[in-house]
Amino acid sequence: MQYHKLTNRQEKLICGETYHIYNKTVGGELLFITDIDYRYFLKKLERFIVPIAKIYTYCLLPNHFHLMLKIREEEEIPTLRKIDDEKHADYITRIFGNFFQSYSKSFNKTYQRQGRLFLQPFKRIKVDDEDYFVLLVNYIHRNPIHHGLVKELYEWRYSTYQTFLSKKLTRIDREEVLSFFGSLEEFVRFHEENKMKPGTEKYYLE
């Protein structure tokens, strides 16, 4: 396992690069209370983030989330044409901030809550090699088991694991992720054979 290589948690978000992005709530409060909240978060993800990034995988848990995505190339983000090159990373980071803020406002209004919902700033770590990519996909999908929410990967509805087993249309870049594993069969086999072993808990970020 190479989860210990996750070091710089405040890297700049650069076009064309892949990142593990994650955040949790203040004080361990709930981020999602009902199924509607999970689905609303994904709608916000589609609205704010899909225009600037390819979504590879995600897992939403009661008080935190994990995303792996690739920031789109500059030519794929029309709004960057109006911004100086050196300010592109700041702009992309601001989009993520707007995403979190938008969800937080709606959540607070729904549940008559006040104050910050997420810890700030959100964490982001570059995914810089294929082995790390494959391990991270598995790591993200196995979080619900690690936290005792389910016993099998396919039982958790709020991750992309089921998306990869489905043939339905999706915003997830399914084919590119599967290309790292070779096939869907190898993808499933890798997840089954690479379960977290005792002693690896320290590599879990949340």
Summarize pLDDT for 30-65 with one digit per residue, the tens.
Answer: 999 999 999 999 999 999 999 999 999 999 999 999
- Lowest-pLDDT range of 80-84, 179-183, 193-197: 193-197
Confidence of residue 11 (pLDDT cuts 50, 70, 90): confident
Of the candidates 146, 118, 144, 140, which has an alpha carbon nearest to the alpha carbon of residue 127? 140
Determine if residue 199 is left, alpha or beta; phi over 0 gives left, psi from -120 to 50 gives alpha, anything else beta: left
Find out if CATH 3.40.50.720 is the number for domain 11-203: no
Given this model, what pLDDT does residue 1 score?
A: 39
Contact 19, 69 (CB under 8 A): yes
What pTM, to 2 d.p., does this model score?
Answer: 0.90
Contact 68, 19 (CB under 8 A): yes
What are the residue boundaries of the structural domains of the chain, listed by start? 11-203
78-136 pLDDT per residue, tens: 999 889 988 999 999 999 999 999 999 999 999 999 999 998 789 999 999 999 999 99
HSE-up of 31 (CA within 13 Å, CB side)?
Answer: 26
Contact 66, 58 (CB under 8 A): yes
CB atoms within 10 A of CB 87: 11
